[in-house]
Amino acid sequence: MDDSLKSVFSESTLSEEGMRALVEALPQLKGSRRRFQEGETILREGELNDSLIILMEGRARLLKLDESGCSLEVDTFGPGALLGLTSFWGKTEVFASVVADTEIACVSIDRQLFDSLTAERPDFVRAVQGLFVRNLSDRYRNMIRSQVARDKLSAQLESERNQLRDTLKRLEETTNRLVNQEKLATMGQLLAGIAHEINNPVGALLRGIESAKDALEKAVRMESEGEVEQELIREGWECPYWSPEEKRTRMDAVMVDFQGVGRPMARRMAQLTDPALKLIGPYVKRKSKDLDRLLAVYELGVCFRAVRLSGGRIGKIVTSLRNYGKQGGSEWEDSDLVEGIRDTLTVLNNRLKRYELSLDLSPLPKVSCNLGEVNQIWTNLLANAMDATEEGGEICVTAIQEGEEVLVRIEDSGSGIDPDKLEKVFEANFTTKNSSGSFGLGLGLSISKEIVEKHGGSLVASNRSQGGACFEARFPVVG
């Protein structure tokens, strides 16, 4: 190898001065010098390349087209770089375009010149081999650096993606809670409006039935035996509820005491109270034609009683709905939790009647709370218990005082909770309703726990030894 070439390739890196020395040492390369302006394409992706280009001055960019046809910068080159190395050596199409990033100077060696130099100058072959190795080594190191940077960026993006996913999850949970609270507030307003609308006709109904009873009593006073009718009306008004078994027993007794009374008449007389039966007995024995009329008067009193009780029941339901629907926003007051529990039981009565309901509600001291929010706890826990229990199963509600706390316990005889999921049932959006456990209300239990803790209490879940689940809510007593 000429001394000039030895000095050039003995350098650990090929400097600009070294590149010039290489060109000067090989007169054949002097006619291969070229210059490109900034932005000019040196090699175009997809085209055949028949030249090996040695970059002497300036910088170039390697651009690769993506699937949408956009150019992506994948590498940069400086002096000493070999451009088009793989396409020249493999006689293939250019893999990625090379564009001048600045004004550049280079040497372009076509295949004929390259073959001539390798045939005539063994030292050139060794020199070019060293240059090949150096360029490939640089590209390999750059590839490793790019991979490391890409992995680092991927890890960072994954971390940010996880953070974004958690943020979106929390946002969704918050949105769902706000929607749920809005629904509760709307429901409270609707219940209050419905209660007001129902209360008026119910009140009028009760007043009307009282007036009708009084008017009927006044009307029968004009009859010769008006006193009997008045007593029968009053007895019917106060008549207790007879169970089917009690009715059969009383009917049998009537047929024994009053021989010859047919079953239809005995069935009507079985509904009489003992004082009413005593009043009507003489009419039965003498087979008075007034018997049917007197029974009708008593039955009219019973009808008045049924209307009065039904109206009263409607009134109680309306009151429970109004109390249950109290939202009040930030309105807190000293409340009796037992009243709230009974109101909730009334609201859920249509579903609860399919289960064996056991109540142990002791008189409790007052608790400072938002009654509408607390009622939502009982709704969620009772609905949860019904979802987990087959119809006919047992649901137990207990309310007692333990020290300075009020304890409300809601238990069921369902399938219980998977021990591994006891801590997860209070997580937002956690539900196993589609699995064998049938537990979880999505947001219900999470909201219930938040409400309890907001009131300074606690809510825990466990499994009963006899089977089923148990939820215990504790609230501090008003000091």
pLDDT along the chain (479 residues), means of 10: 47 53 75 91 91 89 88 85 84 90 90 84 70 72 80 86 85 70 60 67 76 73 67 84 81 87 87 88 83 85 79 71 56 85 81 88 88 84 90 93 93 89 75 45 74 91 92 88
Q: Determine contact, residues 25/8, Cβ cutoff 8 Å.
A: yes
Domain ranges of the chain: 3-120, 197-322, 329-476
pLDDT for residue 24: 73
- Cα 302 to Cα 217, 240, 268, 315, 409: the distances in Å are 14, 9, 12, 20, 40
Q: What are phi and psi of 149, to 5 degrees?
A: -65, -40
pLDDT for residue 450: 87
pLDDT for residue 443: 64
CATH superfamily of 3-120: Jelly Rolls (2.60.120.10)
Domains 3-120 and 329-476 are alike in CATH topology: no
Q: Which two tokens stand for residue 249?
A: 């027993």
Which stretches does DSSP call E strand in 211-339? 333-335
Q: Determine contact, residues 287/210, Cβ cutoff 8 Å.
A: no
Which residue type, as a one-letter code, is found at position 249?
T
Q: Determine contact, residues 224/319, Cβ cutoff 8 Å.
A: no
Q: Which two tokens stand for residue 462?
A: 């466990």
Q: Determine contact, residues 399/475, Cβ cutoff 8 Å.
A: no
Instruction: Report the alpha-carbon distance of residue 344 to residue 383 in Å, rounded.
Output: 11
Instruction: Report the alpha-carbon distance of residue 265 to residue 292 in Å, rounded.
Output: 9
Which residues touch 403 (CB under 8 Å, ≥6 apart)?
Answer: none
pLDDT for residue 435: 43
Domain 329-476, second-level architecture: 2-Layer Sandwich (3.30)
pLDDT for residue 9: 44
pLDDT for residue 442: 53
Instruction: Report the alpha-carbon distance of residue 308 to residue 314 in Å, rounded.
Output: 10
**3-state DSSP assignment of residue 362:** coil
pLDDT for residue 225: 55
